[in-house]
A and B are shown apart, each in its own frame.
Chain A
Amino acid sequence: MSQTVFAPWNDPAEKPLIRFQNVTKKFGEFTAIEDLSLDIYAQEFFALLGPSGCGKTTMMRMLAGFENPTSGQIELAGQDIAQVPPNKRAVNMMFQSYALFPHLSVWDNIAFGLRRDKLDKDAIAARVAEMLKLTRLEKFARRKPHQISGGQRQRVALARSLAKAPKLLLLDEPLGALDKKLRQDTQFELMDIQESTGTTFVIVTHDQEEAMTVASRVAVMDEGRIIQVATPAEIYEAPNSVYVADFIGDVNIIEARTKAVGGDQYHLTWADGQAPLTATSAAPFGEDSKAHLAIRPEKIKITTERPEGAPNALQGKVLDIAYLGNLSTYHVELPGGQIIKAQTANTRRIARRDITWEDPVWISWSATAGVLLAQ
Chain B
Amino acid sequence: MAENKDHLWKAPEEAADRIEDLVRSGSHPVGIDVGTSKVVVSRRGGKEVACQSQLNAFIPVPYSPVTERTIQQQSDIHYYRDGDELVIFGSATERFANMFNAEALRPMADGLLNPKEKQAWPVLEAILQSLVPKPRSSNEVLAFSVPAAAPGRESALTYHEASLRQHFTSLGYKAMAINEGLAVIFSELEQSNFTGIGISCGGGMCNATLAFLSIPSIMVSLPKAGDFIDRSVGEAVGEHATRVKVTKEEGLDLSKPPKDKLEKALHIYYEDLVETLVDTLRRAISRAEKLPKTERALPIVLAGGTARPKGFRELFERTLRARPFPIEVAEVRMATDPFTATARGAHIAAMFEK
**Do A and B come from the same complex?**
no
Residues of B within 8 A of A (CB): none
